[in-house]
Chain A
């Protein structure tokens, strides 16, 4: 059991137990905080998979953005005086059955497929990481002079290069998507200024 194994099982335990609590706990505020630990566990898994930039992005965006948004949503819509109706318990059995079968199939596929894995960790030869057009051209012309084979190099530089060469189109499209989502969410969530006859209680905005 190397240290890698121990850390994997630790992070997998954190993630799995927190996800189960987020799914099964009745109080939604507790579920939101369990989701926080799930996201942190997933960030730890990313670190184990050599995805350092992605781990920090996960913490910043998921924990610092999405989870905060969800806690806002929970706080704005949580009615503490609601009696917890015990409805919906009858729909749990078919869902649990479906979920167990799906999980078994996925687990079976994961365990029995002969994956062609590349076991050597790429942090010793980071030149293997890069596959963008520029580096391939440089390699073909035997012009590569950077000697990155000492120590571990983070993925940020390589991801940045890839983002602006091979993955430029998705990058631009996603910028437009973010703009649309920003404007759309702001427009949807604002207080509607006019009273259009429905039973919205709007103060003067």
Chain B
């Protein structure tokens, strides 16, 4: 039987989301799927901050950091999707392997 839920449980959940997001960034070939991975990584950092805010004695600073991270994630998602739309206009595809005209 697992022990009472405490700080390590939340940290392990955040670590799981981190590695899943990292796997999505490394592996997926659709640019929007890569952005989904980035959002997963940001969510994992958020869970870490809020868990330490609750358990680690830093009062509400963790939740403040989380608010700022949510705002930054929103701004970054908007700009990244605008870039992806432009890539689609030029290359007619969002496959990250095809966006390689700066090479060779």
Residues of A that sit less than 8 Å from B by CB:
1-2, 4-5, 8-9, 12, 15-16, 19-20, 22-23, 28, 31-32, 35, 38-39, 42, 45-46, 49-51, 53-54, 57-58, 61-62, 65-66, 69-70, 72-74, 76-77, 79, 82, 87-88, 91-92, 95-96, 98-100, 102-103, 106-107, 109-111, 115-119, 122, 128-131, 155, 158-159, 162-163, 166-167, 170, 174, 177-178, 180-182, 184-186, 188-189, 198, 200
Contact = CB atoms under 8 A, between A and B. Distances in A.
B54 A130 contact: no
A87 B55 contact: no
**Chain B interface extent, by class:** 35 or more
A5 to B, nearest CB: 5
Interface of B is mostly: helix
B51 to A, nearest CB: 6
A73 B82 CA distance: 8
A5 B2 CA distance: 10
B43 A96 contact: no
Interface of B: 1-2, 4-13, 15-24, 26-33, 35-37, 39-40, 43, 46-47, 50-51, 53-57, 59-61, 63-64, 66-68, 70-79, 81-86, 88-90, 93-94, 97
